[in-house]
Amino acid sequence: MDTRSTARAHGGTQGVYSHTSSATGTEMVFSVFVPDGDGPFPVLWYLSGLTCTHANVTEKGEYRAACAEAGIIFIAPDTSPRGDAVPNDDAYDFGQGAGFYVDATQAPWAEHFQMRTYIEDELPALVAAQFPADMSRQAITGHSMGGHGALTMGLRHPDRFRSLSAVAPICHPIYCPWGEKALSGYLGDDRAAWRAYDAVALIEDGARVPEILIDQGEADPFLSEQLQPDTLQAACSDAGIALTLNLQPGYDHSYYFISTFMAAHVRWHAVRLKA
C-alpha cells in the first residue's frame, strides 16, 4: 500500500492510498479517515455513484466531524478499475467510473471489472492489516449506484454489516435504464444472474436485515425512472424489514444533498456499531 497524501482534519487524519489489486489487476485508489485515539475503531464503508472516484465524497461529503466525534473509520473506495489497458465506454453510465459493484462475467469486462470481490474481500483484508479497524463492527452506506452497491452488499452479508443505509440509491436496477444497461453488459442476458445485484430482488428471494435507512431528495431528477424507492418500500413492507424512507423536499441528486444528511447517517450507524 502506498500513501498518496495525508492531512489533519476534525481531530483525525484523512489519507488517500493506492495499491495493486489482485481482483481488478489494476492500481486502485481509496481514501480513509481515521479519528485520533488508540482504536480499534468501527468501520463505515461509503460506496460512490456513477462518474465518481474516491475523491468526490472525500472532498465534499462533510463526514469527518461526525466520524471523529463517534470514533469511526470512514472508507471510500473507487467505483471501478481504471487505466489505459482497462476497457471503457463513451457513455458516463458504463465502463470506467461505473463498475456497479458487480463481478463481470462478459468479455471484455470480466478481466478487470471484479468490483464485488474487490470491495467484499480484497479491500477489507487490506484495511484490517493496515489500519486500527475493528472488523467485527462494520457498517455500509452509499449514494446512487453506490447506494445500490451498499444495499446489495448489506443484504448479502447481514452477518458482516451491523447497519445499512443509503442516499438516493438505485433500488431496483433490473428494471431501470441504468441497471439494465450495466447488468446486461457486465453479466450477459440471463436476468436470473442479475438478481444478486438488485436489492428488491434479494429481499424477494429471502435476504433479510433488521432495518434500513434511506434519504431521498424529492427534487431528484432520477427519482421515478432510475431510483424507484417505492419498490424497495414495498419489498421491505412485505418482508417485515423496518425501512425508514425520508423524502426530503427540495433536494436533488448532488453532493449538496448528500453532504446535508451525511452526518445524520454517520450518527445513525454509530449507535448501531456501538450497541
Determine the Cα–Cα distance for residues 69 and 37; give it in Å rounded to an integer: 11
DSSP secondary structure string for all residues of 56-99: HHHHH---HHHHHHHT-EEEEE-SS--STTS---SSTTSBTTB-
Backbone dihedral angles phi then psi of residue 240, each to the nearest 5 degrees:
75, 25
Pairing between β-strand 161-167 and β-strand 73-77 as defined by DSSP bridges: unpaired
The continuous run of DSSP H or E covering 164 comes out as strand 161-167
Residue 121 designated active-site: no
Q: Residues 267, 39, 17, 98: what is their CA dihedral angle, to the nearest 10 degrees?
A: -30
Residue 143 designated active-site: no
The single residue of 163, 220, 265, 269 carrying the catalytic annotation is 220
Closest CA to 187 of 98, 252, 270, 106: 106
The rounded Cα 265 to chain-centroid distance in angstroms is: 13
The single residue of 21, 31, 48, 144 carrying the catalytic annotation is 144
Residue 112 designated active-site: no
CB-based contact 172:227 (threshold 8 Å) = no
State the cell numbers at 220.
431528484
DSSP 148: H
> How many Cα atoms sit within 13 Å of 266 on the Cβ side?
24
In DSSP terms, 245 is beta-bridged to 214
Determine the Cα–Cα distance for residues 21 and 48; give it in Å rounded to an integer: 19
The single residue of 54, 253, 265, 269 carrying the catalytic annotation is 253
Q: Which residues are catalytic?
A: 144, 220, 253
